[in-house]
């Protein structure tokens, strides 16, 4: 593939990222206060819904098999987005906690694989250097998702929009738009179409062969562990902000994506100068900085520290998540890239989410305030201190143990 890319292709891929990453924050970020209000006292529904991202990501390797061997990636993406739209529209009508959990679980089964699918499509029609420039529009879409809350509140007069079922209707609208766009994306045919399939292929597990390589094995283990403190932010930080008295949860959380626009454009420069390993070490150190800030914010009531912990999100996400996708694209052979992206999606967003919820839900339960004016709220300093130590240890392990055997590519 040449380093040049037609402007029409760049525009389509950028719009794909914009809409795809707009879908989730519209409803997922404000979902937990809404579910907590719906669920009865002592219900495990908030915990279960915190794990739906993990359940959904289990499907990523299977969808990766489809795009490697059976169907064009853009067609699978369109199917996933239309299914997501239908299910979110149904979630808008659901009134019972159990039915809502099942519906949102199905939403994630179709939505979570789209992150790997969009990476496969973008990297198939661009270069490794151009990918962050395209992926940055996903960040723009994430930030722009707050517009639904503003329109709902200011135009339609829906009080506290972020704590109503209207969040699911907004997500459905974004998913329909993304589905329509997918029909017009550059064709990304399956690289191994027609090859003999096995049960391993059907389950999307062919990429496991990459674990025979020491660098890929170490990378997979460390990224899995890194997701413990990383995903905890995505699942529980809206609860922390609500307990701290913040009103526009989606808007405040989306501030993290504002600086991500800058950080995303830094990725090719950092990886070219420092390589995959040190880029990921930088991401883990930024993660440690986040929890230093949240610890100080929780301990001293300093809003500036809360905002600092949120604003560093772009550096963390860019170096850990996008950097991981770029490393996988460079490390995997062409006929396994779809499954490899699905596998790393499984590691980051499924197994990592499960592990994060398992670890930190128990920690939070031990830090509930049981008396006084703040009864029912949490003491956040202990969880943040644990997350800080976790991130620092992982940064050291990444620096010492990870020895990538691939180089950054400028050609596909």
DSSP of 294-306: HHHHHHH--HHHH
The answer to whether the CB of 277 falls within 8 A of the CB of 398 is yes
For residue 340, the model assigns a pLDDT of 84
CA gap 239, 33 in Å, rounded = 7
pLDDT digits (tens, 9 = 90+) for 110-155: 998 898 889 888 988 877 678 888 988 998 898 888 888 888 878 8
For residue 12, the model assigns a pLDDT of 95
pLDDT exceeds 50 at position 410:
no
Domains of the chain, each with CATH number or no CATH:
7-190+202-401 (1.20.1250.20)
First CA to last CA distance, the chain: 5
For residue 407, the model assigns a pLDDT of 53
Reported confidence tier of residue 406, pLDDT bands at 50, 70, 90: low
In whole numbers, what is the pLDDT of the chain averaged over residues? 85
| Mean pLDDT calculated for residue range 288-298 | 96
Reported confidence tier of residue 294, pLDDT bands at 50, 70, 90: very high
Six-digit token pair at 2?
């040449």
| Mean pLDDT calculated for residue range 39-49 | 63
Reported confidence tier of residue 48, pLDDT bands at 50, 70, 90: low
Listed range (102-106, 142-146, 256-260, 311-315) with the worst mean pLDDT = 256-260
| Mean pLDDT calculated for residue range 400-408 | 79
For residue 116, the model assigns a pLDDT of 83
User: Which is more confident, 242 or 21?
Assistant: 21
Nearest alpha-carbon partner for 192 in 330, 341, 338: 338
Q: Exposed, middle or buried, 372 (CB in 10 Å: 0-12/13-18/19+)?
A: exposed
pLDDT exceeds 50 at position 2:
no
pLDDT digits (tens, 9 = 90+) for 326-346: 899 888 888 788 778 878 888
CA gap 327, 279 in Å, rounded = 11
For residue 198, the model assigns a pLDDT of 66
For residue 219, the model assigns a pLDDT of 95
For residue 244, the model assigns a pLDDT of 86
pTM: 0.73
For residue 380, the model assigns a pLDDT of 92
For residue 164, the model assigns a pLDDT of 84
CA gap 27, 146 in Å, rounded = 10
Name 378's bridge partners: 368
pLDDT exceeds 70 at position 163:
yes
pLDDT exceeds 60 at position 162:
yes
| Percentage, residues of the chain above pLDDT 70 | 90
Alpha helices in 58-96 (DSSP H): 60-69, 73-91
User: Which is more confident, 275 or 56?
Assistant: 275
Reported confidence tier of residue 1, pLDDT bands at 50, 70, 90: very low
For residue 208, the model assigns a pLDDT of 84
pLDDT exceeds 90 at position 171:
yes
User: Which is more confident, 109 or 349?
Assistant: 109
pLDDT digits (tens, 9 = 90+) for 178-230: 999 999 999 988 876 766 766 666 555 677 888 999 999 999 999 999 999 99
CA gap 21, 13 in Å, rounded = 12
């Amino acid at each position: 593939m040449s380093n040049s890319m037609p402007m029409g292709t760049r525009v389509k891929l950028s719009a794909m990222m914009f809409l795809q990453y707009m879908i989730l924050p519209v409803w997922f970020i404000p979902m937990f206060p809404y579910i907590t209000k719906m669920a009865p006292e002592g219900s495990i529904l908030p915990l279960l819904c915190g794990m739906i991202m993990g359940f959904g990501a289990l499907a990523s390797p299977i969808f990766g098999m489809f795009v490697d061997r059976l169907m064009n990636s853009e067609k699978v993406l369109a199917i996933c987005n239309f299914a997501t739209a239908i299910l979110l529209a149904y979630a808008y009508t659901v009134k019972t906690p159990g039915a809502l959990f099942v519906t949102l679980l199905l939403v994630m089964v179709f939505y979570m694989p789209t992150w790997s699918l969009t990476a496969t499509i973008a990297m198939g029609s661009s270069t490794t250097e151009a990918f962050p420039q395209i992926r940055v529009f996903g960040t723009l879409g994430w930030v722009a998702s707050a517009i639904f809350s503003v329109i709902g509140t200011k135009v339609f007069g829906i009080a506290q929009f972020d704590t109503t079922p209207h969040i699911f209707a907004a997500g459905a609208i974004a998913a329909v738009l993304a589905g329509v766009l997918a029909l017009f994306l550059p064709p990304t045919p399956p690289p191994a179409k027609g090859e003999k399939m096995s049960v391993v292929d059907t389950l999307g597990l062919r990429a496991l062969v990459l674990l025979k390589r020491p660098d890929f094995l170490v990378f997979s283990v460390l990224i899995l562990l890194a997701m413990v403190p990383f995903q905890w932010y995505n699942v529980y930080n809206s609860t922390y902000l609500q307990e701290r008295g913040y009103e526009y949860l989606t808007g405040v959380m989306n501030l993290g994506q504002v600086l991500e626009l800058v950080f995303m454009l830094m990725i090719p420069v950092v990886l070219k100068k420092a390589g995959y390993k040190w880029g990921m070490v930088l991401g883990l150190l930024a993660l440690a900085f986040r929890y230093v800030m949240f610890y100080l914010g929780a301990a001293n009531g300093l809003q500036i520290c809360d905002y600092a912990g949120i604003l560093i999100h772009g550096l963390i996400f860019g170096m850990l998540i996008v950097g991981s996708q770029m490393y996988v694209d460079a490390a995997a052979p062409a006929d396994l890239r779809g499954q490899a992206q699905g596998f790393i999606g499984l590691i980051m967003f499924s197994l990592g989410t499960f592990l994060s919820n398992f670890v930190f839900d128990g920690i939070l339960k031990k830090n509930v305030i049981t008396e006084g004016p703040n009864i029912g709220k949490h003491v956040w300093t202990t969880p943040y201190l644990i997350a800080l130590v976790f991130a620092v240890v992982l940064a050291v392990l990444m620096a010492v143990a990870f020895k990538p055997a691939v180089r950054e590519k400028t050609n596909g």
